[in-house]
Amino acid sequence: MTTCREIHDFLMTWLDGELEPAVNERFEHHIAACSCCNNYVDSYRKTVELGRTAFDPCGDAASESTDAAEVHPPLPDELVQAVLAARRKASPPGDGA
């Protein structure tokens, strides 16, 4: 017998297609018959998708852009200057590099 807990524990392995064929069959049989597990699988998938998009820049214009660099604000100028100054300090021009 397969319990709901087993389904939940090995759900990622199942979704990744890494279960043994026999176990896979028992899994699918259980999920088809158990509305609780069916809802769990569906909400787990939605959770992964929600996580994936949680940090996407907001707004329709942003979601249409394929180039992430276009939708992030530029680096603060002080940061750019600080990095350039630190780099010059680490390897001054003409040090034979």
Considering the complex, state which of residue 32 and residue 79 has its C-beta at the smaller distance from another protein.
79
| The binder of another protein chosen from 55, 61, 66, 92 (CB under 8 A) | 55
Cα dihedral 11, 15, 20, 22 in deg (nearest 10): 80
| The binder of another protein chosen from 17, 22, 64, 74 (CB under 8 A) | 74
- Can residue 33 be called a binding residue for another protein (CB under 8 A)? no
**DSSP secondary structure, 27-77, as one string:** HHHHHHH-HHHHHHHHHHHHHHHHHHHTTSPPSHHHHH-S-HHHHSPPPPH
| The binder of another protein chosen from 17, 53, 66, 92 (CB under 8 A) | 53
Number of chain residues interacting with another protein (CB under 8 A): 46
Q: How many residues does the chain have?
A: 97
CB of 40 to another protein, least distance (A): 5
Largest CA distance in the chain: 74
- Can residue 30 be called a binding residue for another protein (CB under 8 A)? no
